[in-house]
Each structure stands twice: as C-alpha cells, then as structure tokens.
C-alpha cells in the first residue's frame, strides 16, 4: 500500500496515495459543520451555522475536529482499514510550533495506530515539486503568506518570513468593497469567496490600477437569492492588496519587495541561486494576472539580481501551484519510507512524541 500524503490547509485539505505524477485524489474543504451527536434530533437548523475550522492560519487549532476530519479522509476517502493502517507523511507550514508537531505525531500513532510517520515543511516540498532543492518559496495560502529561502533542501530559518495575511483577508476586503457599492445587498461570506474566485484579478501595474475607475468593465453576478450585482474595480482591489498592503490597512511592503528583503538577509553568495529559483504557490497565487504582475514588479525591484519564477515541468499535473506542497510530499514519501528514514511505531514507543524533532527536519 502506498504511503498517504496529507496537506492540511486553512481552506482545503489535500490527500492521497503518494503518486507524484498525479493530482491528490482528495481535495476537500477543511471547514466543517458541527452536527448533533444524537441523530434522532430532527431539528438540525440550530446546527446549520455552527461551523468549526480545524486549521487556522496554517496551524491545527481544533484537535477534536482534525481527528474527525482525518478519520473521514483516511478510512472513507483513502480506503484504509481499521487494524491495517499504513504510513503517512504530513506537510508542515513554516514555523510550526514544536507542540503542534508533537501533538500530531501523538494523534497519528496513538489514535490512528499508523505504522510510520514523517513530516516536512511545505516550503521545501513545493520546491521539490518543480525539481529544485535550492531556491525561494512564496506560498500565498488562505490564512498566511510564507516566504522561505531554501539551500540544499534546508530552510534558512532566520531569514524566513511568515505574514499573517492570506486569501481570507482578501475575501474580507472584497466583502467590504462590495458592501460599499451594494449597501442593500445581503452577501454571505461563502458568496464573497465564490465571487473572489470567479472575478478577482491583478492590474498590470500600480499605474494601471490607479486609472481603473468608471471605465472599468463590469461583471454581472447573480446571488443565490436571485439578486444581480455588478462587480467592477473591486475585483482589482483584491489583487492589488498583495502588492500594496496599505489597502488592507497594513504598514508593510508588497509581496515582491518582501521577497527581495528576505533574500537580502542571506549570504550574498546565495542571492542569485535563491532569486533565480523562485516558486510561487498556494491557492491565492492562481488569481488571474498575478504571475504577470509579480514578474513585472520583479523587474522593477531594488535588487541587483531580479527574482525569476521557476516553471513546473510539463510532465507534472496541471494547476501544480494549487497543491505543490502535496506533490513534493509525494516525491519525498517515495524516498523516506523505502529507505526507513521515517518514524516507526517502535521509535515512537521508545522515545515519545519528541522523536519528531530528531527524525523530521
């Protein structure tokens, strides 16, 4: 049985057997609804709005919900049999606290009775997915942005940056903008998220964004209640916030300047290798026009060496940037488990959860 690879994001969980040439077999929402334990209760309306997020800003926060989610993923989705559990590789966000790593390995061995465990950082795995071991990963997820210089497969921790903004903040921004232009409309968060996915885009540059106004092409969108709203400059504002964080009320640099400043703290001997092997990934990076805008900003940045984006090999699955950490995890699983570099049940029984820091790095 192939090892399972699980990449639990703030918005989507990606899981499947370790087959690097294929997309993950499961891509499901991490967001869950709390259901009544007593199934005889007929009136479930009181539970409809009781939702839970096991993963918040990249980190596991609700362990009971995560256990329920993993039970569904492993036994229903991937077809594991109770009593015959296999090996599993998890992806870790940048700067995952030690306590979370220990609690995860404890959950997997003591609750799920797995035979082997490994965990690796998403930034490194995303680089593996495009055939690199050195470079810089810019991961724009639902709950955070991770910028990580990686040299020979190891994250340069001192230089790495974690920004507490992501797709969820862009959704809230879009909700605010739509509220201004459609004060009478009742637009739920789920609808705003869908509108963002359908229409959000990036202007060619800052000047082009400043000129977007009344002449902006309007898009008509029908809400679930039948009301039709028009979407104009709002869809460009969402993308612009990544390059001008002041739009979000943040006093910080845009994403390309953040990348350059991150690399500047690493030894100058590595600048070219890192910047010329830049990988952008995460669901938010798939926004229309984002890659083109990123490259244009990169050509204008203050660095002597300009960031250059690495393209995924043609033989890799489409839309690789959406689940590059999972693909990298599938590649790594093909190495660590056959070569017995993972944590075994015997390792765990002898050393306890802290073994994760010695064997998974």
Indicate if the pLDDT at residue 271 is higher than 70.
Answer: yes
What is 69-121 written as a DSSP string? HHHIIIIIIS---TT---EEEEEE-TT--HHHHHHHHHHHHHTS--SEEEEEE
Bigger pLDDT: 48 vs 99: 99
Rounded mean pLDDT, 351-361: 94
Q: Which residues contact 232 (CB under 8 A, 6 or more apart)?
A: 181, 216, 217, 218, 219
Question: 287: pLDDT confidence band, cut at 50, 70 and 90?
Answer: very high
Whole-angstrom Cα Rg for the chain = 21
Rounded mean pLDDT, 242-264: 93
Q: Where are the beta strands (DSSP E) in 114-183?
A: 116-121, 135-140, 145-151, 154-155, 161-163
The whole-angstrom separation of Cα 269 and Cα 260 is 15
Residues carrying CATH 3.90.640.10, the chain: 167-247
Phi-psi bin for 79: left (phi > 0), alpha (psi -120 to 50), beta?
A: left
Q: What is the CATH number of domain 129-165+251-300?
A: 3.30.420.40
Indicate if the pLDDT at residue 34 is higher than 90.
Answer: no
Question: 37: pLDDT confidence band, cut at 50, 70 and 90?
Answer: low
Closest CA to 124 of 279, 282, 306, 286: 279
Rounded mean pLDDT, 255-277: 92
| Residue 276 neighbours by CB distance under 10 Å | 16
Indicate if the pLDDT at residue 282 is higher than 70.
Answer: yes
For residue 164, the SS3 value is: coil
- pLDDT on residue 313: 83
Which of 11-15, 48-52, 179-183 shows the highest mean pLDDT?
Answer: 11-15
Structure tokens at 26: 């499961």
- pLDDT on residue 180: 92
Indicate if the pLDDT at residue 304 is higher than 90.
Answer: no
- pLDDT on residue 305: 78
The whole-angstrom separation of Cα 298 and Cα 111 is 47
Q: What is the pLDDT of residues 184-227, one digit of tens each?
A: 888 999 999 999 999 999 999 999 999 887 678 889 999 999 99
Q: What is the CATH number of domain 4-33+52-121+318-360?
A: 3.30.420.40
Question: 45: pLDDT confidence band, cut at 50, 70 and 90?
Answer: low
| Distances 187 to 40, 191, 228 between C-alpha atoms, Å | 33, 6, 11
Indicate if the pLDDT at residue 38 is higher than 70.
Answer: no
- pLDDT on residue 361: 76
Closest CA to 18 of 111, 123, 89: 89
Poorest-confidence range of 54-63, 237-246, 309-318? 309-318
Bigger pLDDT: 256 vs 314: 256
Poorest-confidence range of 40-49, 142-151, 314-323? 40-49
Bigger pLDDT: 12 vs 49: 12
Question: 316: pLDDT confidence band, cut at 50, 70 and 90?
Answer: confident
* Structure letter (DSSP) for residue 182: -
Interaxial angle between packed helices 167-181 and 234-243, expressed in degrees from 0 to 180 and rounded to the nearest 10: 140
* Structure letter (DSSP) for residue 306: P
Superfamily classification of domain 167-247: ATPase, substrate binding domain, subdomain 4 (3.90.640.10)
Residues carrying CATH 3.30.420.40, the chain: 4-33+52-121+318-360, 129-165+251-300
CB 122 within 8 A of CB 91: yes
């Amino acid at each position: 049985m192939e090892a399972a690879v699980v990449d639990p994001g703030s918005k989507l969980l990606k899981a499947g057997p370790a087959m690097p040439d294929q997309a993950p077999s499961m891509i499901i929402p991490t967001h869950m609804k709390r259901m009544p334990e007593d199934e005889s209760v007929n009136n479930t309306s009181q539970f409809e709005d009781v939702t839970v997020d096991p993963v918040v800003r990249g980190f596991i926060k609700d362990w009971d919900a995560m256990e329920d989610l993993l039970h569904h993923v492993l036994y229903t989705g991937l077809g594991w049999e109770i009593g015959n559990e296999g090996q599993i590789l998890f992806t870790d966000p940048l700067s995952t606290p030690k306590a979370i790593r220990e609690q995860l390995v404890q959950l997997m061995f003591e609750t799920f009775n797995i035979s082997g465990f490994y965990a690796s950082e998403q930034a490194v795995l995303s680089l593996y997915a495009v055939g690199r071991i050195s470079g810089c990963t810019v991961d724009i997820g639902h709950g955070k942005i991770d910028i990580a210089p990686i040299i020979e497969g190891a994250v340069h921790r001192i230089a790495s940056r974690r920004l507490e903004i992501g797709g969820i903040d862009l959704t809230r921004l879009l909700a605010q903008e739509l509220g201004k232009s459609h004060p009478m409309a009742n637009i739920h968060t789920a609808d705003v998220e869908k509108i963002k996915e359908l229409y959000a885009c990036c202007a060619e540059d800052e000047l082009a964004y400043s000129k977007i106004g009344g002449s902006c092409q309007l898009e008509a969108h029908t809400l679930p209640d039948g009301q039709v709203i028009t979407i104009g400059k709002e869809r460009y504002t969402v993308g612009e916030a990544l390059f001008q964080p002041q739009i979000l009320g943040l006093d910080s640099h845009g994403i390309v300047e953040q990348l350059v400043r991150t690399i500047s703290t690493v030894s100058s001997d590595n600048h070219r290798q890192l910047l010329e092997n830049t990988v952008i990934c995460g669901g938010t990076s798939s926004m229309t026009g984002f890659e083109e805008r990123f490259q244009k900003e990169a050509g204008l940045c203050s660095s002597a060496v300009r960031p250059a984006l690495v393209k995924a090999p043609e033989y890799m699955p489409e839309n690789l940037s959406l689940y590059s950490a999972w693909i990298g995890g599938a590649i790594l699983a093909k190495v660590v488990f056959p070569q017995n570099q993972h944590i075994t049940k015997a390792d765990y029984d002898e050393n306890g959860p802290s073994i994760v820091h010695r064997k998974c790095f």
